[in-house]
Structure 1
Amino acid sequence: MNNQQIVFTAPGVVEWRTEAFDRPQLKATEVLVKKRFSLISPGTELACLSGGEQWFQMPQIPGYAAVSTVIEVGADVEHVAQGDLVFHYGKHCTYEIVRASELVVHVPNDLEPSIALFARLATVAFTALRVSEIELGDQVAVTGLGLVGNFAAQLAQLQGGVVTGMDLSKERVTLAQRCGIKQAVLSFSDIGPKKFNTFIEATGQPQVLHEALSWVAPFGECILLGTPRTDYTTNLTDVLRHTHLHEKGSVTLKGAHEWRYPMKAHPYEKHSMERNTRIVFELMRSGQLHVAPLISHMLKPQNAKEAYQGLSEAKEDYIGVLFDWVE
């Protein structure tokens, strides 16, 4: 058996490798899978490729989400069996050993595997809704209409919010409209004076958050969904006054990183990544969560260099990029 892999070997360097893979003796709680599809998370993986993430030490196989066929299960694994099609947080390689304690969820029979793959980014966006106080009829803004921001806008709309999405890219605004976002704009100035009860910041750009504070209604909330990665120098006092003073709005800042919730469902925990994933699957199956318009490229993994270069240099064309591992 050969294990084909996409490897980040140095900052900016993507390699395609083939290594011998001897079928392992699985531990009791392990699952051996073979990939069918894997999905790139543009923000996280490009940050890793740049060398900007300390937790990602090169050389290493990147990856964020996968749909795979179960090849073999350990003696204590009961929730999946050989031959099952499963969704999991997988890397960009043909074969992978996954721990049963991690998220390994059956893909519904009537859900296209390439669509199910996007549950990973939809559940990232789900975190913003979980921490929010969005109620029916609330005015909600989302800045950044990439994959995560697009899903956040769709989910906020499903939760009853009156959503306005904003992105500087005309193509992403149009794509958001195709996904059912009723109001997507290039600038909030296009919609006139309006204050938002909930402001979801999905770009990860600190200056966008600072500018957004003036758009939040009194006693509203600003939710940090995108991960800040760039330097930004400002007077912090102005930010603090927006959260403290009544005349500034008394805005509440909330972090919305996905790992605030446990991976697996637990009887004493309402929310988990597993529960969010199953809910997302149902929204996809019912057609309430739109995914197909977001798939811009389905490439063979041998073309990984093209994928990452496109995501870095042609952001308006490369939106949802997945690898097809089926031979």
Structure 2
Amino acid sequence: MNKTSFRVMFPEAGRAELQSFPMPEIVKPTDIIIETEYSIVSAGTELACRAGIEGWAPLPHCPGYGSVGRVIAHGPEAKNVSIGQRVLTFGKHAKHTYTDHMAVPVPEGLDPVKAVFARMAAISIAASRVSEAELGDFVAVIGLGLVGNLSAQLFGLAGCEVIAIDPSPRRREQAKACGIPHVLAGGSDLKEQVAAITGGRMCAAVIEATGLSAVALDSAPKVAGVQSEIVLLGSPRAPYTAEVTAFLSGIHLALGAAAVKGALEWRFPTLAHPQGLYKHSIENNIQQLLRLLSRNKLSIDPLLTHLASPADCHAVYEGLATQKEVYTGAVFDWSKV
């Protein structure tokens, strides 16, 4: 076996490059080594890591946490995997990666490029899991990057009437192409636009998928109905100073949103319980999302904007940071290195 592999690295703030590194080896009996076919960029998290502002990812750092590939080796105690099997794992951007627990089989016939989007949808599905929105409810999703778009699609699959909101013309067109019924640009008359769609009822749930505190505090309450909920799907990072008394008063009096909920995917256990003692887990979410993708229930083609060589990683991250009208879904093709 080749002793050298390749991975994307952030050697310093603002830079990405492809570097060689020693091939991973079997250390524990549960280890699984995977030759990566495709890995997907999680733009918000990875751009924050590249900027050096994520405390858990000090530079230099190898980014990435979602990939699809083939099992090439495993320890004697690795469960439910076989050599040559295609799996989705929470792998970094590397030609070879390893895991000792999360290797979810990809259904036969599912395009691996589409399969890797299940990793981003696993972030999105957390909003569906924590929300109380039901069949027929109006749900607004603010922010139509990968996570927001896929969240809107998932609420639509649950029978909700989805209103997708984003100032970007490109992302609104992508949302329409994905079958989302109501797509708005926002603006000063956003409340009136949503009132017209909902007959004045406004939304039972508002999904904040931008990670911008201003959106959560200012925009989301405008479209929230009485006794509704605001779900924080995006991760807030940038400092924001604001007067919050009106926001808190609205929650207290239940004149609009009566609850604000967090929807970080890691609120759920990682692995499914073998006896089903808890309903939801990240592993179970991935399995369900892969099934939806294999049945063409989630639209991916409009979201894949860049299938790139890992050697072009610096240009990809620059594009995601500075050309949001051009870059949405970026996937590295590891057959190109």
TM-score, structure 2 as length reference: 0.93
- 1:105-254 equivalent positions in 2, closer than 5 A: 105-187=104-186, 188=190, 191=193, 193=195, 194=200, 195-211=202-218, 212-246=220-254, 248-249=255-256, 251-254=258-261
Alpha carbons 2:204, 2:224 under 8 Å: kept: yes
Alpha carbons 2:224, 2:256 under 8 Å: kept: yes
Letter in 1 for 2:223: W
Rounded to whole Å, the distance in 2 between the matches of 1:166 and 1:256 is 19
Letter in 2 for 1:48: C
Rounded to whole Å, the distance in 2 between the matches of 1:283 and 1:251 is 32
Rounded to whole Å, the distance in 2 between the matches of 1:228 and 1:17 is 31
Alpha carbons 1:134, 1:160 under 8 Å: kept: no
- Alpha-carbon deviation of 1:141? 0.3
Letter in 2 for 1:205: L
The aligned residue for residue 27 of structure 1 is 28
The aligned residue for residue 37 of structure 2 is 36
| Residue-by-residue CA offset, 1:186-240 (whole Å, 9 max, x unaligned) | 0235725241111000001111111211321110011000000111111222221
The aligned residue for residue 13 of structure 2 is 11
| Residue-by-residue CA offset, 1:250-307 (whole Å, 9 max, x unaligned) | 5210000000001111121100111111111111121211112110000110010110
**Relative to structure 1, is the Cα distance of residues 50 and 89 closer, same or farther in structure 2, using a 3 angstrom cutoff?**
same
Rounded to whole Å, the distance in 2 between the matches of 1:173 and 1:5 is 33
Rounded to whole Å, the distance in 1 between the matches of 2:11 and 2:206 is 38
Alpha carbons 1:261, 1:273 under 8 Å: kept: yes
Rounded to whole Å, the distance in 1 between the matches of 2:257 and 2:113 is 43
Rounded to whole Å, the distance in 1 between the matches of 2:60 and 2:114 is 30
Rounded to whole Å, the distance in 2 between the matches of 1:80 and 1:181 is 37
- Alpha-carbon deviation of 1:19? 3.1
- 1:51-70 equivalent positions in 2, closer than 5 A: 51-70=52-71
Rounded to whole Å, the distance in 1 between the matches of 2:311 and 2:128 is 37
Rounded to whole Å, the distance in 2 between the matches of 1:250 and 1:180 is 27
**Relative to structure 1, is the Cα distance of residues 304 and 196 closer, same or farther in structure 2, using a 3 angstrom cutoff?**
same
Rounded to whole Å, the distance in 2 between the matches of 1:199 and 1:122 is 18
**Relative to structure 1, is the Cα distance of residues 312 and 78 closer, same or farther in structure 2, using a 3 angstrom cutoff?**
same
The aligned residue for residue 309 of structure 1 is 318
Letter in 2 for 1:257: L
- Alpha-carbon deviation of 1:36? 0.6
- Alpha-carbon deviation of 1:95? 1.4
Q: Secondary structure at the match of 2:10?
A: strand
**Relative to structure 1, is the Cα distance of residues 25 and 285 closer, same or farther in structure 2, using a 3 angstrom cutoff?**
closer
Rounded to whole Å, the distance in 1 between the matches of 2:122 and 2:297 is 15
Q: Secondary structure at the match of 2:245?
A: helix
The aligned residue for residue 79 of structure 2 is 78
The aligned residue for residue 293 of structure 2 is 284
Rounded to whole Å, the distance in 2 between the matches of 1:48 and 1:92 is 13
Rounded to whole Å, the distance in 2 between the matches of 1:76 and 1:192 is 54
TM-score, structure 1 as length reference: 0.96
The aligned residue for residue 335 of structure 2 is 326
Rounded to whole Å, the distance in 1 between the matches of 2:164 and 2:25 is 48
Instruction: Establish whether residue 269 from structure 1 lines up as the match of residue 278 from structure 2.
Output: yes
Alpha carbons 1:30, 1:98 under 8 Å: kept: yes
Give the percent of matched residue pairs that are identical in Structure 1 and Structure 2: 38
Alpha carbons 2:191, 2:222 under 8 Å: kept: no
Alpha carbons 2:224, 2:257 under 8 Å: kept: no
The aligned residue for residue 94 of structure 2 is 93
- Alpha-carbon deviation of 1:32? 1.0
Alpha carbons 1:26, 1:73 under 8 Å: kept: no
Q: Secondary structure at the match of 1:275?
A: helix
Q: Secondary structure at the match of 1:243?
A: helix
- Alpha-carbon deviation of 1:97? 2.2
The aligned residue for residue 265 of structure 2 is 258
